[in-house]
């Protein structure tokens, strides 16, 4: 029994609607909402805390059945407060405290898979491109990458921190890499997401450098554009659709029986998809 008097609606507050990763997560949410006969409100915080707060207020006034959120700040106290006032909340793609269900992907493993692949392909000077480090996923992907280097006992990982995870920042990282003397330039880059990797790839081509011959590139997420790139991108695939679907199912279970509900932290495993940007695959 879902709560009465409400709008028979779920909401997903997305962090960045310009990132196709979130479109795919939202498709999974929508599928679960459709199956339960609920409508879905999609809200875009655009990484803006104030806008996110305004949406949370509005959704509570609208008495939605529950809120899925990829928060700007995983520790935002407004999220716990909303749940405490009786609106079920599930945190998507960011770790949450024990007060909520959450659905995430093992980013330590993802970083490890990416860099192990580069080391196995013979690379020793590897750049990590991504940031800011305030994002837990970024930190975990770096730690996973470092773990792979430590285990191999060879290779060197240099972190090129970016201000955001977008195409423009990928292009800027490309300028920095191309500007290094050839003897110090990394031969491979592991990017914290595909948008960065696509920007990096574009900048390498613009500057007359070849991918993968001059720089092998691995992205993260495996969005549809990764395969469609001029040099198809090797990427660490996240189960985007399943993330969304599972999160929505957890939310619906909590909305139906809030009393007997036990919060769950679901963690999926990522998978490496090898393509031409690291010299293998189609």
Name every residue whose Cβ is closer than 8 Å to that of residue 101 and which is 6 or more positions away in sequence.
90, 91, 247, 250, 251, 254, 263, 264, 265, 266
Closest CA to 214 of 160, 277, 166, 169: 277
Between residues 106 and 214, which has the closer beta carbon with respect to ligand RIB? 106
In the Cβ-directed half-sphere of 43, how many Cα atoms lie within 13 Å? Answer: 27
Identify any residues that bridge with 190 across adjacent strands, giving them in sequence order: 128, 218
CB of 226 to ligand RIB, least distance (A): 11
Q: Which residues of 225-240 are buried (b: 16+ CB within 10 A; e: fewer)?
A: bbeebebbbbbbbbbb
Name every residue whose Cβ is closer than 8 Å to that of residue 234 and which is 6 or more positions away in sequence.
117, 216, 217, 218, 219, 272, 273, 274, 275, 276, 277, 278, 280, 281
Between residues 148 and 236, which has the closer beta carbon with respect to ligand RIB? 236
CB of 153 to ligand RIB, least distance (A): 29
Token pair for 105? 């992907």
CB of 95 to ligand RIB, least distance (A): 11
CB of 19 to ligand RIB, least distance (A): 5
Between residues 67 and 236, which has the closer beta carbon with respect to ligand RIB? 236
Helix 20-35 vs helix 240-256: crossing angle, to nearest 10: 40
Between residues 220 and 255, which has the closer beta carbon with respect to ligand RIB? 220
Between residues 21 and 128, which has the closer beta carbon with respect to ligand RIB? 21
Between residues 170 and 186, which has the closer beta carbon with respect to ligand RIB? 170
DSSP string, 210-249: -TTTT-EEEEEE--HHHHHSSSPPEEEE--HHHHHHHHHH
CB of 260 to ligand RIB, least distance (A): 31
Contact residues toward ligand RIB (CB under 6 A) are 15, 19, 21, 93, 137, 165, 193, 220-221
In the numeric block, the tokens 């293998």 are attached to 280
CB of 72 to ligand RIB, least distance (A): 10
* Euclidean distance between CA atoms 190 and 209, whole angstroms: 17
CB of 165 to ligand RIB, least distance (A): 5
CB of 271 to ligand RIB, least distance (A): 14
Identify any residues that bridge with 9 across adjacent strands, giving them in sequence order: 39
Give the residue closest to ligand RIB by C-beta: 193
Between residues 155 and 219, which has the closer beta carbon with respect to ligand RIB? 219
Between residues 93 and 254, which has the closer beta carbon with respect to ligand RIB? 93
């Amino acid at each position: 029994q879902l709560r009465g008097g409400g709008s028979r609606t779920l909401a997903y507050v997305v962090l960045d609607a310009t990132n196709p990763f979130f479109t795919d997560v939202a498709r999974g949410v929508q599928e679960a909402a459709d199956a339960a006969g609920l409508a879905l409100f999609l809200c875009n915080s655009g990484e803006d805390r104030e806008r996110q707060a305004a949406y949370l207020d509005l959704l509570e006034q609208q008495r939605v059945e529950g809120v899925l959120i990829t928060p700007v700040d995983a520790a935002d106290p407004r999220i716990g407060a909303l749940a405490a006032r009786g609106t079920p909340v599930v945190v998507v793609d960011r770790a949450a405290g024990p007060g909520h269900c959450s659905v995430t992907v093992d980013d330590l493993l993802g970083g490890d898979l990416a860099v192990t692949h580069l080391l196995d392909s013979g690379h020793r000077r590897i750049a990590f491109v991504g940031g800011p480090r305030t994002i837990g996923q970024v930190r975990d992907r770096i730690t996973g990458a470092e773990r792979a280097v430590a285990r191999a006992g060879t290779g060197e990982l240099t972190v090129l921190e970016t201000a955001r995870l977008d195409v423009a920042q990928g292009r800027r990282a490309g300028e920095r890499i191309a500007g290094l003397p050839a003897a110090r330039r990394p031969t491979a880059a592991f990017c914290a997401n595909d948008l960065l990797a696509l920007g990096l790839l574009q900048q390498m081509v613009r500057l007359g450098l070849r991918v993968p011959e001059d720089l092998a590139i691995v992205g993260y997420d495996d969005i549809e554009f990764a395969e469609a790139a001029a040099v198809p991108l090797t990427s660490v695939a996240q189960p985007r659709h399943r993330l969304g679907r599972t999160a929505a199912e957890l939310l619906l279970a909590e909305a139906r029986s809030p009393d007997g509900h036990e919060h769950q932290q679901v963690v999926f495993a990522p998978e490496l998809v090898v393509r031409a940007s690291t010299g293998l695959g189609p």
